[in-house]
Amino acid sequence: MKQPREKLSLLPIAAMLAVAFLMVATIAYLFYASGRSHDLATVQSKTSRQIQDITNELLSLVKDAETGQRGFIITGRESYLEPYNKAMAAARLSRAMFNAPSSVSLGK
């Protein structure tokens, strides 16, 4: 005599597969979102560094201008005005640099 086999229900297997699929999909999305967030942070960091470099260059030019102006006032020699004139020309470009820091450089 044959004994009737118990039918295995497919519902628990399907439920486990669905949960596994959802877990894999969630992990994939989190990796994707993390990567995009990292890319954005990298771009923002690069832009901040460029602005900081431009600001440091401008500060250096302002110091040079002050030194040249002081030298001119003390000695009366026109040659001391060269750093001052250079700094004034660079200061006119500063607005463009802060609007598009990657496209313009002071170029000491």
Kindly report, residue by residue over 22-33, the tens digit of the pLDDT.
999 999 999 999
- What are the extents of the domains in the chain? 15-99
Label residue 69 exposed, middle or buried (CB < 10 Å: 0-12, 13-18, 19+).
Answer: middle
Contacts of 88 (CB under 8 A, 6+ apart): 65
Per-residue model confidence as pLDDT tens digits over 33-86: 999 999 999 999 999 999 899 889 888 888 988 998 999 999 999 988 888 888
Per-residue model confidence as pLDDT tens digits over 53-65: 988 988 888 898 8
